[in-house]
Amino acid sequence: MIPKRMREALGIGDGDQVLIWVDGGRLVITSPRAYAKSTRGLTRGTWTRRRGDASRYVERERQAWR
């Protein structure tokens, strides 16, 4: 349970869902929406925009494992 004063300071209401994790010795509390917004685009450029590139990559990796 997060104390009322902390919820008010963070702008979260009683019963709201939050994500909580430890990062370098500090406790991080955020909403799922804020987390999604902050991580949006992190994998941009991992795959090209052409169809099938991801499938070809995965198939090459599978072949390398055999």
| Tens digit of each residue's pLDDT (9 = 90 or more) over 4-47 | 898 888 888 888 899 999 999 999 988 888 888 988 888 776 76
Please tell me which residue, 19 or 52, carries the higher pLDDT value. Answer: 19
Residue 1 has pLDDT above 70, yes or no: yes
pLDDT at residue 48, as a whole number:
66
The residue range of the domain holding 35 is 4-65
What is d(CA 35, CA 23) in angstroms, rounded to the nearest whole number? 14
Number of domains comprising the chain: 1
Look at 54 and 9; give whichever has higher pLDDT: 9
